Amino acid sequence: MNVRAQVSMVFHLDKCIGCHTCSLACKNLWTSRPGTEYMWWNNVETKPGTGYPTLYEDQEQYDGGWKLERGELKLRLNSRAGELLNLAFNPRLPSLDDYYEPWTYKYNDLIDAPQGDGQPVAAPVSLITGKEIDIEAGPNWDDDLSGSPVYAANDPNLKGLSEEERQMLFATERLVYFYLPRICNHCANPSCVAACPAGAIYKRGEDGIVLVSQEKCMGWRMCISGCPYKKVYFNWETGKSEKCILCYPRLETQQAPACMHSCVGRIRYLGLLLYDADRIEQTAKRPDHELVEAQRAMILDPFDPEVVARAHENGIDDGQIEAARKSPVFQYVKRWRLALPLHPEFRTLPMLFYVPPLLPVTGSMGDGVYDNSADFFSSLESARLPLRYMANLFTAGDEEQVAAVYRKLIAVRIFKRAQTVGDIPAERVAQTLEQARTTPEEIEEIYQLTSLAGFDERFVIPPFSREAAIELVQITQQRQEGGGMGFLHGPQRGL
């Protein structure tokens, strides 16, 4: 057992209101520089939909992530030698048009326009060429299913759905969608790291944050193709790759990442997980349907004395273990088994987990009357989105594993409804709980963390002790004296 600590996340999709506040908080902080305008380290996409960049989940097209070949874990992208041969041209690189061409408007024209009969307009101009452009796409062009015949109908996760199910999905009366906010998953088996020929991308040992060394990056662009979630971006101005840094400068000073801090729906949770690094490879090699369970097994119990002893051996201190015990992520992922990784079949072992959305109650439109009295708590069978769709997203297609999550989520609703409104017979409650294999105590805990948790319960930031870590490699006095007044130079593109 080789215990490692990982700062990981849970996003509770039932609570996301699709407001994009997270995206803007991130953009304001990190990607408002030239070359990064088109990057959304945090983006929120509407599902069903093709996402950002378009069709990123379709690995037939992009070859991201890992594949199993004769029991060996291989990059889908290419062999090592094959990658080197493709340095001059990467055939699997999305083009800017798969994201969108960033633009602004000629606002000055509104003020400077000469007197005339018509209203002055602010024409859109490309942020890259400075020339006027026709805007053809944006980072959330398919928000709330706008243009669904183009976007939603092409969602790769619809595979395996019958024609009837698809129709059900898109029939206007039953229009249904949900939001999927995405940041880098800071994977335990990151394929971006593995694909980088320069060795510029690395995972931080102490906290598992995946970063791109801006000095070592040579702009070979393989990480962008290698990441199946398309969460590494190419800065066209500096010629370097950039990605979500999980706001590590904020984390190191005990602040929640900007996207999480600003989240209006309070859907985001952050905490430490301890996991067994010796099991990364064998976990990633499991057959598709066993991946979720194997990843859960790889995550260790911080209450287990054996785990604690081994963690100490690896330099994980009591503060971190304490944080791992309080971690909301540990509760959702390991104890309650409610949170699932996005597309586990990419085999990168993503360390960001999602509680799938239960979606609003079903209703029907008859004679202009909206009637939702039939089954207020949307039993699984009448779920608005086919289970198969959710399974394609979160369990590599295994419907039973998603159903198990849903049974528990429904049990929470029914239990609390019975408790607060009292209109559900006790036998039905007991039966639901039994089906979901849960207990009233567990439900209360889930309810507490889902609906009532305050800031400090949602974000249990472990002590980073960077100063203690620095002490090991440098004398602190010297470090302190090495700082001081001076000049910081902005990143300058090479000649």
Partner 1 sequence: MSTFLFIVFPYVAIILAVGVGLYRYWTNRFSYSSVSSQLLENTKLFWGSVPWHYGITLILLAHVFAWLFPGLTGSILGFGPRLFAFEVAGLALALFAAVGIVILIARRLPTLSRARAVTSPMDWILLFVLLVQVLTGAAVALFDRWGSHWFLSAAAPWLWSLVSLRPDAATVAPLPPLIQFHFLLGFAVILLFPFTRLVHVVMLPIHYLWRPYQVVVWYRDPRRRLAPVPASQAAPAKSHFSSAELKE
Binders of partner 1 among residues 314 to 353 (CB under 8 A) are: 314-315
Minimum distance between the CB of residue 193 and ligand SF4, rounded to whole angstroms? Answer: 6
Cis peptide bond upstream of 48, omega within 30: yes
SS3 track for 429-495 = HHHHHHHCCCCHHHHHHHHHHHHHCCHHHHECCCCCCHHHHHHHHCCHHHHHHHCCCCCCCCCCCCC
Stretch that binds ligand SF4, among 19-27, 119-127, 153-161, 467-475 (CB under 6 A): 19-27
Q: What DSSP state is assigned to residue 278? A: G
> Would strands 369-371 and 364-366 be described as parallel, antiparallel, or unpaired?
antiparallel
Question: Torsions phi, psi of 72, nearest 5?
Answer: -105, 145
Is residue 138 a contact partner of residue 52, using CB atoms and an 8 Å limit? no
When binding is defined by CB under 8 A, the residue of 60, 71, 72, 88 that contacts partner 1 is 88
Closest to partner 1 by CB, 22 vs 201, is 201
**Touching ligand SF4, residues 245-284 (CB under 6 A):** 263-265, 267
DSSP-derived 3-state class of residue 292: helix
Stretch that binds ligand SF4, among 17-25, 112-120, 129-137, 374-382 (CB under 6 A): 17-25
Task: Return d(Cα 42, Cα 202) in angstroms, integer.
Answer: 20
Minimum distance between the CB of residue 375 and partner 1, rounded to whole angstroms? Answer: 48
Question: Torsions phi, psi of 135, nearest 5?
Answer: -75, 125
Question: Torsions phi, psi of 473, nearest 5?
Answer: -115, -15
36 binds ligand SF4 (CB under 6 A): no
Residue 340 binding: pick among ligand SF4, partner 1, none (C-beta 5-8 Å cut-off by kind): none
182 binds partner 1 (CB under 8 A): no
Residue 305 tokens read as: 């004395």
Residue 25 tokens read as: 């908080």
When binding is defined by CB under 6 A, the residue of 1, 19, 113, 453 that contacts ligand SF4 is 19
Q: What DSSP state is assigned to residue 450? A: I
Task: Return d(Cα 51, Cα 282) in angstroms, integer.
Answer: 30
Is residue 2 a contact partner of residue 314, using CB atoms and an 8 Å limit? yes
Residue 20 binding: pick among partner 1, ligand SF4, none (C-beta 5-8 Å cut-off by kind): ligand SF4
Q: What DSSP state is assigned to residue 123? A: -
When binding is defined by CB under 6 A, the residue of 3, 5, 16, 333 that contacts ligand SF4 is 16
Closest to partner 1 by CB, 178 vs 234, is 234
Stretch that binds partner 1, among 94-102, 103-111, 161-169, 413-421 (CB under 8 A): 94-102
Residue 240 binding: pick among partner 1, ligand SF4, none (C-beta 5-8 Å cut-off by kind): partner 1
- Backbone torsion region of residue 370, taken as left when φ is above 0, otherwise alpha when ψ lies between -120 and 50, otherwise beta: beta
56 binds partner 1 (CB under 8 A): no
DSSP-derived 3-state class of residue 84: helix
Is residue 68 a contact partner of residue 230, using CB atoms and an 8 Å limit? no
Residue 408 binding: pick among ligand SF4, partner 1, none (C-beta 5-8 Å cut-off by kind): none
How far is the CA of 159 from the CAs of 55, 135, 389, in angstroms? 13, 30, 8
**Touching partner 1, residues 231-250 (CB under 8 A):** 234, 236-240
Minimum distance between the CB of residue 237 and partner 1, rounded to whole angstroms? Answer: 7
Question: How many other C-beta atoms lie within 10 A of the C-beta of residue 11?
Answer: 26
Per-residue binding letters, 140-179, with partner 1 (x by CB under 8 A): ----------------------------------------
Question: How many other C-beta atoms lie within 10 A of the C-beta of residue 17?
Answer: 12
Task: Return d(Cα 456, Cα 443) in angstroms, integer.
Answer: 20
Residue 269 tokens read as: 């949770």
Stretch that binds partner 1, among 153-161, 307-315, 321-329, 426-434 (CB under 8 A): 307-315
Stretch that binds partner 1, among 20-28, 74-82, 109-117, 387-395 (CB under 8 A): 74-82
Residue 38's nearest CA partner among 124, 96, 105, 92 is 96
Minimum distance between the CB of residue 294 and partner 1, rounded to whole angstroms? Answer: 18
Minimum distance between the CB of residue 252 and partner 1, rounded to whole angstroms? Answer: 11
When binding is defined by CB under 6 A, the residue of 12, 20, 221, 240 that contacts ligand SF4 is 20
Amino acid at position 447, single letter:
Y
340 binds ligand SF4 (CB under 6 A): no
**Touching partner 1, residues 108-147 (CB under 8 A):** 126, 128-131
Closest to partner 1 by CB, 13 vs 212, is 212
**Touching partner 1, residues 452-471 (CB under 8 A):** 466, 468-471
Q: State the residues that interact with ligand SF4 by CB under 6 A.
A: 16-22, 44, 179, 181, 184-187, 190-192, 210, 227, 229, 231-232, 243, 263-265, 267, 348
